[in-house]
Structure 1
């Protein structure tokens, strides 16, 4: 990129890049660094604008102190909720967001309500309206996330809920974590989990980002994406055989190293070309953000994490993967911005 393009890109619409703090560590076996160390690591990496976390109550003040000390804002955070039980928890987490200066709270709504009944589309829309109202009182925007083990794992429901919310006169804001979509491509077993296999086979639900009408593109073009989580995944992503759950089964596999993890550090052959569908969704999201003056996309958080379905047992560095991904995100955004403003 030449100097003129670089200046134009810098003057273009902002797109902060951050990191989810569970990924500020190296291998899974390594202990999680303390809060101050994690903020220092983020500052020293030089590629992140903020951290993404709703800390446990006993760490809130630690986060506040480290944020001020290192000049790294806690721009957003998130949690998961069972309807009919966790409404008070949401209020506490929104208060924490306000205390830390966060502008976004990422919301995962569990598939089942606290009483064991499935959360209906109307239930989710009602909870969204509650979260939106309470968030507005605190200057925090709730964003409902695309995520496995949550209501939104059935991707067909997202547009229905969005329209119900808009029917109430409210804007629908979501967190796009498209790794949860990409890993189901060419993966019939995972499509069966959320009952979408038949619709995918018939072309009624399109997962492939290179095909017209694909589901991530529908959400992007509707202007619903307010927040984004960037954790790489590939079609038919390998199971996480480095870890097993209580049922003895390996993790579902919703994380793929962004750069070559090195010999023996990943339990499958690594091929960077397989990342292209995941990258293409990011490009589409960035192009929309650059072109649409009404775009509400506020930031992108890298999220290479050590949990069972992701990187538990990993022998590669989660933090180094996030740094590499953040570098690519910045370069890609600069190129798209320069092209748009050139």
Structure 2
């Protein structure tokens, strides 16, 4: 059925503490299978791991339904084509596509350039059968959130469907976050009413993207308003992680560097509910899957001692229950 919804996991999150070694590919597939809650894995593997991914998928019966990578315009167009082609070879239906903020020559990419890149990517999707979905993500063009709707409508005006990946943790962590809202003048846009971040308020940006019918893929990584910075991990320049990940279930004592309060997850959960409510009643229903993405990078869970994998399992458990309730009500 078009309104079915599958739940998977991005393979960088198939490990426990950050300091633990990453299990080999086939072990990760077995871990996912044994967890019993995931329908697929999400990954565009490195070339030297492709055969291991194929073998892991065959051994466990878990498809590689999605993948993704990040790209610099003016330099990585060939890489995008190779990855979309590889995704199709692996059986992926969607390719999560991050477009960096700056062009290869250094300038900030324009809306026209992103639109042109999207149109080219859409042609690749038609050619190979794996659909590129442009993601909302920090450090990318789409961190300036109003630009997403601008580009989407430019694409639609040319008769092409716009497909995006929703990762609303990048929205949620900016709520009530003065430092993060200085980026792209988000604070002024919020103050003027041009941009509504809070998913409980009418006209919020998550709802705009969802109800416009743009979301084809979703990454689920919990975050809270004014999410604590990740002081456990640093970037090469010495800055601490921006803090775009919050444990979904209560961590054990000493496993998280800040206080944990389950009630603070409600805005993030509401973003998932908005997506699911729309999907349950959407006649066109193009969303097919949601991938958990609790990951160890500095801006996320770098340095963590809680289990990334256990957080993903708990998150999927809640999403399955929530989807069943929403679908029954619809």
Map residues 1-342 of structure 1 onto 2, 5 A cutoff. 13-340=3-330
Residues of 2 paired with 1:150 and 1:13: CA distance?
A: 30
Residues 81-120 of structure 1: CA deviation (Å, up to 9, x unaligned)? 0000000000110111011010100000000001101110
Alpha-carbon distance in 1 for matches of 2:239, 2:97: 27
Distance 1:66 1:94 in 2: 20
Q: Which residue matches 1:3?
A: none
CA contact under 8 A between 1:12 and 1:337: conserved in structure 2?
Answer: no
Is the Cα contact below 8 Å between 2:85 and 2:130 reproduced in 1?
Answer: no
Given that 2:10 and 2:292 are in contact with CA atoms closer than 8 Å, whether structure 1 keeps it comes out as yes
CA distance in 2, matches of 1:307, 1:144: 21
Q: Distance in 1 between matches of 2:13 and 2:183?
A: 27
TM-score (norm 2): 0.99
Which has the higher mean CA deviation after the structures are superposed, 232-241 or 90-99? 90-99
Residues 12 and 104 from structure 1, CA distance in 2 versus in 1: closer, same or farther, beyond 3 angstroms?
closer
Aligned-residue offset at 1:12: 8.7
The CA deviation string for residues 252-306 of structure 1, in whole angstroms up to 9 with x for no partner, is 0000000001111001000000000000010011000001111211100000000
Q: 1:58 to 1:72 in 2, by over 3 A?
A: same
**TM-score by structure 1 length?**
0.95
Distance, in Å, in 2 between the alignment partners of 1:135 and 1:218 is 24
5+ residue gaps in structure 1? 1-10
User: Matches of 2:90 and 2:2 in 1, distance apart?
Assistant: 27
Q: Which runs of 4+ in 1 moved over 6 A?
A: none
Question: Unpaired runs of 5+ in structure 2?
Answer: none
Distance in 2, Cα, partners of 1:98 & 1:218? 30
- Distance in 1 between residues matched to 2:200 and 2:329, nearest whole Å: 21
Is the 2:3–2:285 contact (alpha carbons within 8 Å) kept by the matching residues of 1?
no
Give the total of aligned pairs: 330
User: For 2:296, what is the secondary structure of its paired residue?
Assistant: coil
Per-residue deviation, 1:195: 2.0
- CA shift, 1:247, in A, is 1.9
Query: Is residue 144–residue 173 contact of structure 1 (8 Å, CA) maintained in 2?
Result: yes
What's the secondary structure of 1:77's corresponding residue? strand
- Greater shift in the superposed pair: 291-300 or 121-130: 291-300
Whole-angstrom CA distance in 1 between matches of 2:108 and 2:238:
26
The question of whether the paired residues in 1 share the 8 Å contact of 2:2 and 2:285 is answered with no
> Secondary structure of 2:118's match?
helix
Contact kept, 8 Å, 1:252 with 1:309, in 2: the verdict is yes
Over the residues paired in the alignment, what is the CA RMSD in angstroms? Answer: 0.9
